[in-house]
Structure 1
Amino acid sequence: MDIITAILIIGFALMNSDIPQGVANRGKLHVVHGMFVGIAIVVCIYLWNCYSSVIRSGSPGGSEDGSWRPVPPILHVTELTFSEVPVRVYEPTAGSLGLRKGLVYINGGGWALDTASEVCRHIAKEAETTVVSVGYRLIPEHQYPTQKNGHLLSPCAQVLIYPVLQMADFNLPSYQQNHAVPILFCGRMAFYFLQYLNGDTSVCQDVLEGNHIPAEMRLAFKEWFSPEHLPPECRVRCHRQHVHSALITTEVYHKIKDRLDPVSPLLEDNTVIRLTPPAFILTCVYDMLRDVGILYRKWLLDLELEVTWHHMPDRWLTFPSATWAVDRTLNYVKTL
């Protein structure tokens, strides 16, 4: 593949993306999207296994925690193992009058190769909190549900940053409105879900159209997934009621049913949700995952559970908006 072909592919991808006018830093998002397309081209040129092996065998940064900057003197960074699970601990060097708060940072993945250090450093410094960044086992070497074993604990609070809470309905308003907004596209999201859960990626289109959910099961959660539970401003932008096919069979459902419930808290019943700790939820208007976070918040409020919600009305989650998001997360951590 020559340079001209690569440029044409990147240009085509940029023209077919949909970045709403209300998005802050639209130019930067165009650049990032183009970079991701360029990376995808490189991956196509080289064998993926060789390419990922080279990336993951080395550290992208210049310090022991993967950052390009040296560790500041006010922090101490240590590589440890907790029950054979590798962790990186960020501790403020200043003394504490009592017990210091602890925060377990679990990276959501998605091309994040040793890039969490700056966030963990910032939280540890500003919130005077010991941060434990978990190096959970990764695919393809460790397939789901290996990542869960030995990595989970009983938290006193949960901080959910644009959370992924279900794979039952990919036709909520936020999926329709932002299906072509970089960086995470709707089809790509369904594919990643199936790939991560050892599913059959050949049924990706059926999952997008909702053909993987039997009618009786859909009726059971229809009330919780109703767009009527969303704020009016989340329903006005090019949202249409999705009509499910009358030809739905159980074949697709049986292929993925064992993977559906464990990754879909929104399909649980009230008795399970009542056991969850206080929650902090952050959503973004131009994000495909927006609505599931908002629906989860409503469910927690209906059960009279403690929940703090922050919504980013004109941003996407990177560049200057990242500071906005991290600051609000820090303020919440300080209250614990």
Structure 2
Amino acid sequence: MGTIQSKYSNVSIPPGVNHPGKLQIVLASMITTSAMGKILEKMGVCSEITFTRYIHSGVKLGPDPQLSLEDARFGQVPVRVYRPRALSACLRAGAIFFHGGGWLYCSIDSYEKICRYIARESELVVVSVGYRLAPEHKYPAAYEDCLNATIHFMKNIEHYGVDPANVIVCGDSAGGNLAAAVSQTLASRSDLPKLRAQILIYPGLQALDFNLPSYQQNRGVPLLFRERAAFYLLQYLNGNASNLEEVLQGSHIPIDIKLNYMRKWVSPGNIPEKFKVRGYKPHKPHEFKAEVFEKVKRFFEPNLSPLLAEDAIIHELPESFILTCEYDVLRDDGLLYKKRLEDNGVRVTWYHLEDGFHGIISLHDFCGSSFPAGERGLDRIIKFIKGL
């Protein structure tokens, strides 16, 4: 139980967060799940990760009178397709959705309510992708599954009654990372229709600096803590988190990457000053450790850290919607990417939840209720889709 106490010892719920009392209940559920998972792991019943996946597996829902649901495989990748039942005189828009969960958790079933909501309210075809999870399937497995599913959909798009000129990629958290990476990869493909838009919901977009203002300000705010953000990235990359402390301190970054990327694209100087007023102390990275870099050097590939893509790729990206939350360690990833997109002439719609926290969208209809800020965020996403 000492591990549980250590993991949650620095938790803080700021008074400005949306419905702090309700968030306390969610936090209590997180702590209980973690404790039970540890107990079961020590008993040899199952791993903590397996138990947590079971808890987050979602509840099986009944038929939806407004939607037709189909489980299928796009190549080797499991997907669920949501199609409005109402007849349409023209081709619909389509959205490929990649779920969050730190590349370790969640599934198509976990995001059933959200995908149904988007399909119903936007009247479009939604494809939810069940990509492979870490640590069993390390990087780039999740990215490859999402890319392959998207390509399959676009090559067979007429079967789903979708307009090939109106396809969106969308994801939250780790899913936002995957959506950004897929969008970059497809930007230069001449054999496929161009994506109409990308929707990035509090995405994680870099693995260089875990000491940006948002990481410092929100290090202990649920649902994503600073240490867990690095933990998930390491699990996705290597299947273990043995170099967690070195990565948190910045010991994995060689001088050439600091000069070429951090000063230009991952600099706190690119974050508006108003986002530093809650506290920020410039961080001096610890001494570079070549042996750590060798273990995590793929962190610097744009397919894992989309913020590091070259300008020529960024310039080709489609119209974008980025949602950020004030009380989220990943807030500044979104702000930095917003600047990169705008600097390269990409049209960006940005919506910031001043009282939001990481994961708030995924709590849509959580135990029969939702966080109002999360509903505002979802409604803005629907408004953006309808306006395309």
Query: 2: CA distance between counterparts of 1:307 and 1:18?
Result: 32
User: Is 2:133 the counterpart of 1:147?
Assistant: no
Q: How many Å separate the matches in 2 of 1:146 and 1:28? A: 35
Change (3 A) 1:233 1:94: same
Partner of 1:31: 25
Q: Distance in 1 between matches of 2:23 and 2:245?
A: 27
Q: Which residue of 1 aligns with 2:269?
A: 228
* TM score, norm. by length of structure 2: 0.77
Aligned position for 2:333: 292
**Secondary structure in 1 aligned to 2:96?**
strand
Decide whether the 8 Å contact of 1:199 with 1:255 is kept in 2: no
The partner residue of 2:50 within 52, 60, 64 is 52
2:12 counterpart of 1:18: yes
* 1:106 paired to 2:158: no
Contact 1:167 1:260 in 2 (8 A): yes
**1:280 partner letter:** F
> Partner amino acid for 2:255?
A
Asked if 1 retains the 8 angstrom alpha-carbon contact of 2:342 and 2:348, the reply is yes
What fraction of aligned residue pairs are identical, expressed as a percent?
A: 42
Q: Structure 1: which 5+ runs fail to align?
A: none
2:111 pairs with 1:116:
yes
Structure 1 counterpart of 2:291: 251
Between the aligned partners of 2:48 and 2:14, the Cα distance in structure 1 is 37
SS at match of 2:110: coil
- The whole-number CA distance in structure 2 between the counterparts of 1:172 and 1:58 is 29
Residue 310 (structure 1) aligned to one of 337, 345, 351? 351
Whether the 8 Å contact between 1:14 and 1:30 is mirrored in structure 2 is no
Which residue of 208, 211, 216 maps to 2:256?
216
Q: How far off is 1:53 after superposition?
A: 7.5
Q: What amino acid maps onto 2:71 in structure 1? A: E
- The CA deviation string for residues 3-35 of structure 1, in whole angstroms up to 9 with x for no partner, is xx99xx67x876631222211211111121111
Question: Following TM superposition, by how much is the alpha carbon of 1:224 offset from its aligned partner in structure 2, in angstroms?
Answer: 2.2
- Give the drift of 1:260: 2.7
Structure 2 segments unaligned to the other structure (5+ residues): 151-185, 187-194, 364-370
Aligned to 2:218: 178
Q: Contact 1:178/1:286 (CA < 8 Å) preserved in 2?
A: yes
Output the CA distance in 2 between the equivalents of 1:311 and 1:181: 17
Task: Tell whether the 8 Å contact from 1:81 to 1:87 is kept in structure 2 after alignment.
Answer: yes
Aligned-residue offset at 1:270:
0.6
Shift of 1:54: 10
**Structure 1 residue identity aligned to 2:139:** Y
Name the SS for the 1:285 alignment partner.
strand
Considering fraction of residues, name the structure with more strand: 2
Larger Rg: 1
| Contact 1:14/1:33, CA 8 A, preserved across alignment | no
Is the Cα contact below 8 Å between 1:83 and 1:150 reproduced in 2? no
Which one is further off, 107-116 or 52-61?
A: 52-61
Q: Which letter maps to 2:378?
A: V
SS class of match (1:79): strand
Q: 1:280 to 1:94 in 2, by over 3 A?
A: same
Cα distance in structure 1, aligned partners of 2:196 and 2:239? 32
Aligned partner of 1:321 in structure 2 is 373
Q: Secondary structure at 2:92's aligned position in 1?
A: coil
Q: How does 1:264-303 map to 2 (within 5 A)?
A: 264-303=305-344
Q: Partners in 2 of 1:17 and 1:207 — Cα distance?
A: 21
